[in-house]
Amino acid sequence: MSRLYLCLLLAGLCAFAQCHHTPDHKENHGHGHSPPAEGERGLPSSKIAPGNADFAFRFYQQVASETAEKNIIFSPLSISTALAMVSLGARTTTLSQLLSGLGFSDITEQEIHEGFHDLFRILNRPNPELHLSIGNTLFTDDQVKLLKKFLDDAKHFYETDVLPTNFKNPAVAESQINSYIENKTNGKIVDAVKGLNPEALMVMVNYIYMRANWEKPFNSLSTREGDFHVDEQTMVKIPMMNKDSWFETYHDNILSCEVVKLPYKGNVSALFILPDQGKMKQLENALSKDVLFKWMNSTKSQRIHLSLPKFTISGNYVMKGMLRRMNIMEVFTDQADLSGITGKPELTISKAIHKAYLNVHENGTEAAATTAIEMVPTSLPPEIKFNRPFLLLAVEEETDTIIFMAKAMNPTEA
């Protein structure tokens, strides 16, 4: 039987963490993570939060096993979203493998899709202090006829657009898809599609774009070159942002790491996790949804001197092998049953790729125009210096959703 090809393209995350230097006149000494109120516990998105977190850490461990000494940046939410949307059209073993691999074995399909629908409602709602958008698009050839139910569900639950595409001319199709992704990610992700299969009949794209301002900005006048210890033998010079202030911190004695939570304006926070020397592997092996929730609920306000690298990293991943090792296998084979998409078991995923970008920095021009003067006690506070490999998670706090996850092994390597 001939097969039709579906390309799963996760333009993924364009995270642009931008620190504007507006005066910071007040200190928030209690900006901790609170458990959902009783009225919020029943949110549909709360039912998929544990599965999404579990998937994020299992996928991270797959990436880390292939790139032990490299920077990592990806959006677990982007990957989960695209695979959940594929599951709308999956049947039999293909469906059960997808749902199990995504960590959704204990909830119904209806709860899964309603959970993503609610999550998109929360993430995409207008916020003047946080630019966050997530969306999905199906680029389809006129040879493939999609079932009305699949299209209706994709549009309703995943806010999916459908665009006609001529895959018989791969160069034109690639240009169309790349231009779309570049536009949706504000020019940060370019040339995402290369070598498109001329037999492809559909390309599924998910994108996430975030631009956020720190709640407590860094002053670029305090940024100084510092040493970053890549490993015991390698040291590189990197601009280090510095701030003496109150931050939410937690020392995890069990995992031998420091956790610092930096809120963005809006409802997203960045968790910076600094393992003790030689403890990165131990930390990576222990990552789980329970550890994340413990960190989010354990931070306490403490005055510290924080030194944090200013850096840009990017990632580009071919995911088929990683997902197969997570037991999402059949969807990539001729045995795939995606008959819920076209009415026939004729589709298989030929390619699944993910690109991501992260930029953490302060805006020097704006710093010079609006310098903030902060008065603090003269006694020296404890110092937490991120001058060796560390992890970074951006978490939407209302839903406990990990928007992106990164490991900075060498911040000088873009």
Are 180 and 136 in contact by the 8 Å Cβ rule? The answer is: no
Residue 132: closest CA among 179, 180, 184, 81: 184
- CA distances 49 to 39, 44, 55, 90, 409, Å, are 16, 9, 10, 22, 28
Closest CA to 384 of 311, 309, 310: 309
Question: Can you point out the beta strands (E) in 66-153?
Answer: 72-74, 130-140
Cα distance between residue 269 and residue 272, in whole Å: 10
Q: Give me the half-sphere count of Cα atoms (radius 13 Å) on the Cβ side of residue 37.
A: 1
End-to-end alpha carbon distance in the chain: 44
- The SS3 assignment for 28 reads coil
Angle at alpha carbon of residue 45, lines to 74 and 50, rounded to 5°: 60
With H, G, I as helix, E, B as strand and everything else as coil, classify residue 178.
Answer: helix
Provide the 8-state DSSP code for 59.
H
CB 314 within 8 A of CB 358: yes
Contact 134, 77 (CB under 8 A): yes
Tens digits of pLDDT across the chain (414 residues): 345 455 555 544 444 444 333 334 333 333 444 444 333 457 899 999 999 999 999 999 999 998 878 999 999 999 999 999 999 999 999 999 999 999 998 999 999 999 999 999 999 998 888 888 889 999 888 888 899 999 999 999 999 999 999 988 989 989 999 999 889 888 888 888 888 878 788 888 888 888 888 988 898 889 999 999 999 899 999 999 999 999 999 999 999 999 999 998 888 899 999 999 999 999 999 999 999 999 999 999 999 999 999 998 888 888 889 999 999 999 988 898 999 998 987 788 888 888 888 888 663 212 111 112 222 233 457 899 999 999 999 999 999 999 999 999 999 986
- Looking at residue 8, what is its pLDDT? 54
Q: Are 409 and 64 in contact (CB under 8 A)?
A: no
Question: Domains in the chain, start-ordered, CATH in brackets?
Answer: 4-22+37-212+312-359 (3.30.497.10), 220-308+370-408 (2.30.39.10)
pTM comes to 0.88
Which string of DSSP letters, residue by residue, matches 278-330? T-HHHHHHH--HHHHHHHHHH-EEEEEEEEEE-EEEEEEEE-HHHHHHTT--G
In angstroms, the CA 315 to CA 256 distance is 27
Residue 393 CB neighbours (<10 A): 25
Buried (b) or exposed (e) across 320-354, using 16+ Cβ within 10 A? bebbbbbebbbbbeeebbbbbbbeebbbbbbbbbb
d(CA 365, CA 52) in angstroms, rounded, equals 38
